[in-house]
Structures are given as structure tokens and as C-alpha cells.
Structure 1
Amino acid sequence: MSEPSQLDAWSAALARELGIEEESLGHTGALLDVARDAAHAVARPAAPLTTFLVGWAVGTGRVTVDQGVAAVERLAARWTEEMPG
């Protein structure tokens, strides 16, 4: 089983366990991209926390997935310029 197939199978199984419709998994690529951006701009542990926070914001209706992804992209792009360390 290849890496993407394992990821797809895991995501589908986890969605079922959490009671999430599998059709909602259409943004997996975008979430992996923001995880990468956070890991590279901030620190590796920022990746899971970032995806959690975007998911939380989406789940509570504060933003759409696209808005959440855009917010992470904006912040990550300027992080190294504006933040110390």
C-alpha cells in the first residue's frame, strides 16, 4: 500500500470513527499544505496544532476552509519577518 493510499484509508477510517461524513475530506491537500507551512515557518510541532485550530475554526463556523487556509498562509509568509526567534 502506497503512502497516499494509507493516508486516504486512515482519513476515511478516522472520519467514520468521529462521525464525520467522508465527503468532508475534500480539503486534505490544503490542510497538509498549511501543516507544511507552519512546520517550516514556525516549528514542526506547529503543524498539528495549526491544522487543529483551522479545523476548530471551520467547525464552529468562524471561517470556511478556504478562509482558514488563507489565514495560515498569510501568517506563515510573514512570520519570520515579524516574529522574533
Structure 2
Amino acid sequence: MNLPDWIDELCDALDLDAEVDEALVLDLARVAAHNVVRPAAPISTFLLGLAAGRQGAGPEELEELAGRARALAEAWDRPAGATAAEDEDVEVPDDSAVDHSGDARELEDA
């Protein structure tokens, strides 16, 4: 399966009727990962999609939103003395012992 097939199947699974400019999304993810910190990539693309959806953005508006996000990432300054390698060492807490079985319910109630 290739990326366009995955996108089509995922849109079907999420009940979305959308055309995806994967190059635009992947470009934002790449710039955010390299200029900010690696975990910024999926968060940036998620927020781009959220903003586009809330604004009912068409292709031109989506490009403008992505351009703003990319410009922010390109201009992002790391803390003094930080290197790219330091940014990538983001620790994720181990919560494997935590019971998350009720988490989905809490989100539905919110």
C-alpha cells in the first residue's frame, strides 16, 4: 500500500471527505521536526488540520495557514547553547503501570 492509498483508507475510516496535499503536510512536518523539535512535527500538522477544519479552509487558505506555520518553525530559536541532538532527546514518561481504561470515557464526557 502506498501513501495515497493509506490517506484514502484513513479518510474513509475517519468519515472524512477530504483531499489531502501530502507534500504540504509533510513539508511542514519536516521543517517543524528539524527547526523546533522532532515531536513538533505531528503536533504541528495536527494543529494545521484543526485550524483548517475550524476555518472551513479551502486549498488556498490551507496553503496560507501552512505557510504561516512553516514560517514560525523556520524562525524558531532554540535555547542558547542547545543543539538539534539535545532537542531530539525528549523524555516521554513511562505510564505503562497506569490504568487508562477509563480515559476514553472521560474524553467522551468532556
TM-score (norm 1): 0.79
Percent sequence identity over matched residues? 35
1:48 to 42, 45, 53: 42
- The reply on whether 1:6 has 2:23 as its aligned counterpart is no
Query: How many residues are paired up?
Result: 77
Gaps of 5+ in 1: none
Q: Which has the larger radius of gyration?
A: 2
Hey, what's the Cα distance between the residues in 2 that align with 1:15 and 1:77?
29
In the alignment, structure 2 segments of 5+ residues that lack a partner are 83-110
TM-score (ref. length: structure 2): 0.63
* Deviation, structure 1 residue 62: 7.1
Residue 88 of structure 2 aligns with which residue? none
| Distance in 1 (alpha carbons) for counterparts of 2:51 and 2:4 | 23
User: Which 4+ stretches in 1 moved above 3 angstroms?
Assistant: none
Corresponding position of 1:59: 53
Structure with the bigger percentage of helix: 1
Summarize the alignment of residues 1-85 of structure 1 with structure 2, pairs less than 5 Å apart: 6-22=2-18, 24-25=19-20, 27-61=21-55, 64-80=61-77, 83-84=78-79, 85=82
